[in-house]
Amino acid sequence: MRTSLQTFRPRKRFAPGTVRYKLQKCAQASLHSGVDFRLAVQLPPEENLNDWIAVHVVDFFNRINLLYGTVSQQCTEETCPRMSGGSKYEYLWQDGVTYKKPTRLPAPIYIGLLMDWVENKINDQQYFPVDPAVPFPNEFHSICSKILTRLFRVFVHVYTHHFDTLVNIGGEAHVNSCLKHFYYFVTEYGLVAARELQPLKELTRRLTAPVK
């Protein structure tokens, strides 16, 4: 059985000189310059939407993985026996292979399986082709939607059950920024259903409210 610490893993990177490497640098530069997230998520002129989505899926995987790493020592099978977001929301794991039916799992086990599942998807060239001459599959958007929907559940769990830890280490501003970026991206391209975003609806409303 894996522990929560095993979830922490090296960053996934794009090869220098590729289109996606360029787009990744473009996206990072926009964020570092303090640009409005609404603008930062918009597709650059003359770029391919699938490449833009692929870059962001990998980036959010990296960032959410690092985010969970900061609280993983406090997220154990004893402290978090269910993958939940408070009393109203619980997530069951199903991958169609080992877990063929929705299965209740402790949060660290669920998140470990989730990260493994995402990593396998983004490393599979059937879904995320490396060769620019190879087209993305027809189901690419639905795959990315499922990946991002599942990654959002990590935000839900961390905010609901481990936000005090983030505050104690001074990480709440960074996590809020990451969530805000994620929210603007998935809503811009319709990649996560509104019902899935419901657990953090009030928080995202506050984070995205116009500054008065």
Q: Which amino acid is at 201?
A: K
d(CA 184, CA 163): 21
Q: Name the strand (E) or helix (H) holding 27.
A: helix 19-32
d(CA 147, CA 152): 9
Phi/psi for 16 (5° steps) reads -55, 140
80 is in an annotated binding site: yes
Torsion of Cα atoms, 168 then 108 then 208 then 25, to 10°: 100
d(CA 175, CA 104): 27
d(CA 54, CA 48): 10
56 is in an annotated binding site: no
In the chain, % helix, strand, coil (3-state, to 5) comes to 55, 0, 40
* Cα atoms in the 13 Å half-sphere on the side-chain side of 192: 22
181 is in an annotated binding site: no
144 is in an annotated binding site: no
d(CA 175, CA 166): 8
Asked if residue 71 lies in contact with residue 158, where contact means CB atoms within 8 angstroms, the answer is yes
Residue set of the binding site: 75, 80, 157, 162
Residue set of the binding site for Zn(2+): 75, 80, 157, 162
